[in-house]
Amino acid sequence: MKYQVDERGYYGKFGGAFIPEMLYPNVEELRTNYVSIIESEDFKKEFDDLLRNYVGRPTPLFLAERLSEKYKAKIYLKREDLCHTGAHKINNTIGQILLAKRLGKQKIIAETGAGQHGVATATVCALMGMECIVYMGKLDMERQRPNVERMRILGTKVVPAISGNMTLKDATNEAMRHWINHPTDTHYIIGSVVGPHDEHVNLIGVEAAGKGVDTNESAATTALGKIGILHGSKSLLMQTEDGQVIEPYSISAGLDYPGIGPMHAHLFSTGRVQFLNATDDEAMNAGIELSRLEGIIPAIESAHAVAVLKKLELSDEDIVVVNLSGRGDKDLETYIKWGKY
């Protein structure tokens, strides 16, 4: 089974470029130059050097002994929370900023939910001396204030999105509008993506169930969604019968989005990935549990992954790797407001 993107920009039946005509030159420019740039020796050298000496890769694979003892399996944490800026996001933004430079772009825009992608984008823009604008939902700006100030300290302009639920979807809408109006000198660093793993590894994705999958306050796309188009690509999308987007909800600012990426939709539809979900309370309890057992306060996004350990039938022969995608510094106010610790 092929899981990578094809030459048309599709993962199976998901993906594509459903975009305004004004953006086609930008997309075509990227399509034409992408492979030659990332395969060039100077790009590889600069990229690898920055990942090693600036980001701090490779990050450790840590055996969580007390967590393993509790769940009767060997559980490792991939410590992406130890990357510079505190999350996996900078792995993407480092490569994107190098790509933007080689495309001759002068300005960078991005969207962000929990603020980690915004911080990672602001960081690499400061490193490379490029102007940066980040769009962030007004609600997310209020609940992720430390990351907003981090971006501003780094010299980035943070623009509030005040439409809709004032969260990630709406920030993405505003960033897309900006890119449409500034197609020649601006590169849009969209949130990072992930790739599939060895066929012999069972993959489990965890979605935000909010207050419960069937409560109308959820972001569990594979449980609730159907095929639709949003923000330029075809994927699985939470929508009404007449195709209107259903507003998502999650306690995690980085997860309240009504869709999933085309690769994830393809992996789900082919059965390559098993998608589970965790409610707000399940994720928050898992975050506290990890903090108490291993001395690691996780981002709430990562805590959703930790939460499903309770839902798996594990044995002492099983080896589980949990992607600890970010640290919980940005979420302290949410943990405190939740208060059940």
* Alpha carbon distance 88, 290 (integer Å): 19
Angle at 255 between CA 55 and CA 125, to 5 degrees: 35
* Alpha carbon distance 256, 238 (integer Å): 11
* Alpha carbon distance 335, 316 (integer Å): 32
Closest C-alpha among 178, 196, 201 to residue 188: 178
Sign of CA dihedral 230, 231, 234, 235: negative
Closest C-alpha among 103, 146, 102, 100 to residue 124: 100
Give the length of the chain: 341
Angle at 30 between CA 28 and CA 35, to 5 degrees: 120
Q: Which positions are catalytic?
A: 89, 111, 325
Please give the single-letter amino acid code of residue 26.
Answer: N
What angle do the packed helices 89-102 and 116-128 form, to 10 degrees? Answer: 40
Cα-to-chain-centroid distance, residue 29: 25
* Alpha carbon distance 255, 232 (integer Å): 19
Q: Which residues pair with 186 in a beta bridge?
A: 107
* Alpha carbon distance 45, 154 (integer Å): 26
